[in-house]
Chain A
């Protein structure tokens, strides 16, 4: 059977759009698939047409350029917005992408292509703390999405907290849109940054150009502080802000009245699809997982490419460069004449190095575990408190997967996307450590997902109606290989 397209791109953010456009310009038949109703991903999320926004770029850097790319793409590739991918399969020389079309109808649609580019982006990484499930507590990404996509300001009196540079544009955007932003509380502090060559400017807010905007709205930016508890009866009314020591243990606290808290500790790449396909993963020194790629953004699985946050959280500019590199590599691999672009490659390397430096500058420190109490929900979906996670560990769980099996933490609706990082840490490791253990004890930074980094193994990446799933029953089952090396090499011990 001939595949429908030369290239399927999953993800309509800067990486996916750049990759699709580059490949289409090289003459490939391209389909771009994105879950949202409009292209943009999280960074270039744009207001619905119904707002008739005259100046949507006020909330983004570089939106005009991205919009032009989308317009260029429209005539050159099939763009499937509102399509959620629930699984991908690879069979011989083709990939099959199974989608659900429509935000509520969920019509099944299957797309096949010779090559696949995964640019699925990332989501916020929350950490649990008492009260983090109160209405009014949301992630910085949620506050940003409400503002950029729906022009809704998340609250009137807003506290922004967590770690990482993303807190700044969120605070600046909320303040510009009329919210009273009471403060930005960066758990990581500023002093560590100065040691980093890329960030030698010292003051991060200034370095990223948000200092003036925050100052204009009189938003204080505090280092080494965190929200360690949220309070309220049914909805948020105030938060406890703590001064932290180096390891994030609270040393002094005060309470602040607010109606909204936007709180997040960096990002988690959406790795469900690459893990389904068996793409090799890389564990960063600070514990984050990303897909391993070569200079052409090729993953370890033939025919599968990755760009953007999928290869390591690094922001929109890096994502676009990676998308372009991936598009060129796909075209070259399919026999198109594509001259090398060393300038683009160098640019990507430079941006990636900067992103790594940022990641290293904002590690999550272990003291957050001390913010939790026995009854603090760690898993929101299944309402699993810290005490239950501890009990699972006492019962013989040793990692996130076995904690899940014994306590249900991570077994609910979100499939551990919200609590997975915290549970891995509470189980005594990092997600990266789990990945290595899952790969049969491989050392170093390489994580082989053949046995699966358990936390990311989600064969069903989006809920799918059983009626729709039943519709695939008519297809003949693929005979499986006699055993993958990663599995067979397990020493023969337990069941």
Chain B
């Protein structure tokens, strides 16, 4: 019997399992699909501190940023037997040792302002965040091209955020899980894919395991890391956790022979789109290169349920915004597009902590579009809770029953 069962093998579940195993717990991870098959597999791998205003989410992001660096720097559990460069990137180029085996890149983020007014707002935003530990450098209009030679000429200036980083999220989830299983767990297979949770085992109120289509799994505690489907999982325990999908498209270009985009580059409008409550379509280009040579272009936000139908106008807007930032992209081709569903809560904060309505059930979901960036801190804090330690951050803003307030 494992100490805990983590439901969900996305980046959040992987981080929870990893840190719990590091804390000495035996962990089983179940997922109805493969590893990283949900929102994790549809993301860009953003590890951002630049898009968050001071508050609990920024605190979480800063802690997570430190932890990502630590994870990327620590020797990989399977580094030695991986001479083929397998699963580390395109062909022999990237070994798993690079970037923790999951392409961690401290590339930095460059936020650009279209005009002087936006630049003033952006600078004020950055100065405020700076007081809370966000490193930043003001960049003049002329200075932008030192960072990004191919950037459009008509921008007013920007702010460079050196802490912003990127990971390959699927590899990150898979490698965190494997490291957890091989280095900290008791050697028992930690990951079980193709297992669907159908209910909870209870002892009175207390959650004592999960019921699955492959049999029951008893455990000391259960972690809900089901991402966009976390609300539905919570409902199986009789707990209301309002998590809804917010659709996003990502456009991917052909692999370029030379990097056209060096950092994570986005417009100041992205920050307001992230925080927006609008149900309608919002797009604000986030452009970045990957080690595979492709350029990824996000990020659209829509509340359309779980509809995967391609929307040409949405892709068109993403392309137009990307071309406005990098005119040379106009002649490059998009070769694929994909969409995913960000798990969002009404107050745009994740749910992290034990559920008082179902003791023994810990939630770690609802990270909206920031789940990759926030994963290590979430896993670390959950592990602290599971082992009876005082968490490094005050988890009150993330408590699972906060949405009950104001209900009749």
Residue A481 at the chain B interface, CB threshold 8 Å: yes
Contacts of A342 on B, CB cut-off 8 Å?
A: none
User: A89, A382, A472, A495: which contacts B316 (Cβ < 8 A)?
Assistant: A472
User: B175, B197, B254: which contacts A493 (Cβ < 8 A)?
Assistant: B197
In the complex, the answer to whether B196 meets A459 with C-beta atoms within 8 Å is no
In the complex, the answer to whether A477 meets B307 with C-beta atoms within 8 Å is no
Q: Mark A477-491, 1 if CB is under 8 A from B, else 0.
A: 111111110011011
Residue B209 at the chain A interface, CB threshold 8 Å: no
Complex CA distance for A384 and B93, rounded to whole angstroms: 11
Q: Which residue of A lies closest to B177 (CB)?
A: A396
Contacts of A396 on B, CB cut-off 8 Å?
A: 9, 34-36, 174, 177-178, 191, 193
B27 to chain A, nearest CB (A): 14
Complex CA distance for A343 and B37, rounded to whole angstroms: 49
Q: Which residue of A lies closest to B31 (CB)?
A: A494
Given contacts A395-B174, A465-B331, A488-B306, contact A87 B255 (CB under 8 A): no
Residue B70 at the chain A interface, CB threshold 8 Å: no
Residue B302 at the chain A interface, CB threshold 8 Å: yes
Residue A452 at the chain B interface, CB threshold 8 Å: yes
Complex CA distance for A491 and B41, rounded to whole angstroms: 18
Complex CA distance for A493 and B8, rounded to whole angstroms: 7
In the complex, the answer to whether A466 meets B87 with C-beta atoms within 8 Å is no
Contacts of B309 on A, CB cut-off 8 Å?
A: 278, 480, 484
Residue B358 at the chain A interface, CB threshold 8 Å: no
In the complex, the answer to whether B333 meets A466 with C-beta atoms within 8 Å is yes
Residue A369 at the chain B interface, CB threshold 8 Å: no
Complex CA distance for A278 and B227, rounded to whole angstroms: 26
Residue B33 at the chain A interface, CB threshold 8 Å: yes
Complex CA distance for A452 and B33, rounded to whole angstroms: 14
A226 to chain B, nearest CB (A): 25
Given contacts A480-B305, A494-B37, A495-B229, contact A383 B90 (CB under 8 A): yes
Complex CA distance for A399 and B305, rounded to whole angstroms: 25
In the complex, the answer to whether B33 meets A89 with C-beta atoms within 8 Å is no
In the complex, the answer to whether B310 meets A459 with C-beta atoms within 8 Å is yes
Contacts of A401 on B, CB cut-off 8 Å?
A: 34, 37, 41
Complex CA distance for A472 and B314, rounded to whole angstroms: 9
Within 8 A of A (CB), among B37-96: 37-41, 82, 84-92
Contacts of A483 on B, CB cut-off 8 Å?
A: 305-307
Given contacts A460-B335, A467-B331, A469-B334, contact A493 B233 (CB under 8 A): yes
Given contacts A391-B86, A396-B193, A473-B313, contact A493 B226 (CB under 8 A): yes
Complex CA distance for A470 and B327, rounded to whole angstroms: 11
In the complex, the answer to whether B292 meets A408 with C-beta atoms within 8 Å is yes
A30 to chain B, nearest CB (A): 24
B48 to chain A, nearest CB (A): 19
Within 8 A of B (CB), among A177-206: none
Residue B139 at the chain A interface, CB threshold 8 Å: no
B85 to chain A, nearest CB (A): 7
In the complex, the answer to whether B39 meets A481 with C-beta atoms within 8 Å is no
Complex CA distance for A90 and B225, rounded to whole angstroms: 36
User: B35, B36, B91, B228: which contacts A384 (Cβ < 8 A)?
Assistant: B91
Residue A26 at the chain B interface, CB threshold 8 Å: no
Residue A388 at the chain B interface, CB threshold 8 Å: yes
User: A87, A398, A493: which contacts B196 (Cβ < 8 A)?
Assistant: A493
Chain B: interface residue total (CB-CB under 8 A):
91
Residue A387 at the chain B interface, CB threshold 8 Å: yes
Residue B230 at the chain A interface, CB threshold 8 Å: yes
In the complex, the answer to whether A494 meets B315 with C-beta atoms within 8 Å is no
In the complex, the answer to whether B310 meets A494 with C-beta atoms within 8 Å is no
In the complex, the answer to whether A494 meets B304 with C-beta atoms within 8 Å is no
Judged by DSSP, the binding face of B is mixed
Residue B403 at the chain A interface, CB threshold 8 Å: no
User: A89, A459, A463, A487: which contacts B306 (Cβ < 8 A)?
Assistant: A487
A97 to chain B, nearest CB (A): 11
Residue B124 at the chain A interface, CB threshold 8 Å: no
Contacts of B297 on A, CB cut-off 8 Å?
A: 466
Complex CA distance for A415 and B177, rounded to whole angstroms: 28
Residue A235 at the chain B interface, CB threshold 8 Å: no
B281 to chain A, nearest CB (A): 5
User: B30, B41, B338, B343: which contacts A402 (Cβ < 8 A)?
Assistant: B41
Contacts of B198 on A, CB cut-off 8 Å?
A: 491
User: A467, A480, A482, A490: which contacts B229 (Cβ < 8 A)?
Assistant: A490
In the complex, the answer to whether B335 meets A375 with C-beta atoms within 8 Å is no
Complex CA distance for A494 and B11, rounded to whole angstroms: 11
In the complex, the answer to whether B174 meets A374 with C-beta atoms within 8 Å is no
Residue B389 at the chain A interface, CB threshold 8 Å: no
Contacts of B41 on A, CB cut-off 8 Å?
A: 401-402, 405
Complex CA distance for A408 and B12, rounded to whole angstroms: 22
Contacts of B10 on A, CB cut-off 8 Å?
A: 494-495
Residue B13 at the chain A interface, CB threshold 8 Å: yes
Complex CA distance for A406 and B232, rounded to whole angstroms: 27
Contacts of A481 on B, CB cut-off 8 Å?
A: 304-305, 307
B240 to chain A, nearest CB (A): 13
Within 8 A of B (CB), among A47-104: 87, 89, 98
A40 to chain B, nearest CB (A): 27
In the complex, the answer to whether A480 meets B302 with C-beta atoms within 8 Å is yes
In the complex, the answer to whether B225 meets A495 with C-beta atoms within 8 Å is yes
Residue B20 at the chain A interface, CB threshold 8 Å: no
Within 8 A of B (CB), among A367-404: 374-375, 382-385, 387-388, 390-392, 394-399, 401-402
In the complex, the answer to whether B334 meets A398 with C-beta atoms within 8 Å is no
In the complex, the answer to whether A469 meets B316 with C-beta atoms within 8 Å is yes
Residue A412 at the chain B interface, CB threshold 8 Å: yes
Which 6 pairs across A and B sit closest by C-beta, in order of nearness? A495-B227, A492-B232, A396-B35, A467-B330, A483-B305, A472-B316
Q: Taking A463-B333, A463-B334, A492-B236 as given, write out 8 further A-B residue pairs in contact, using a Cβ cutoff of 8 Å, ordered by the A residue number.
A: A384-B90, A408-B90, A408-B292, A459-B310, A481-B307, A483-B306, A494-B8, A495-B226
Could you list 8 examples of A-B contacts with CB < 8 Å?
A392-B86, A407-B87, A464-B333, A464-B334, A466-B322, A469-B315, A493-B233, A494-B32
Residues of B within 8 A of A (CB): 7-10, 12-13, 30-41, 82, 84-92, 170-171, 174-175, 177-178, 191, 193-194, 196-198, 225-233, 235-236, 247, 251, 253-255, 281, 292, 297, 302, 304-317, 319-320, 322-323, 329-338, 343, 365, 371
Residues of A within 8 A of B (CB): 87, 89, 98, 276, 278, 374-375, 382-385, 387-388, 390-392, 394-399, 401-402, 405-408, 411-413, 415, 451-452, 458-460, 463-467, 469-484, 487-488, 490-495
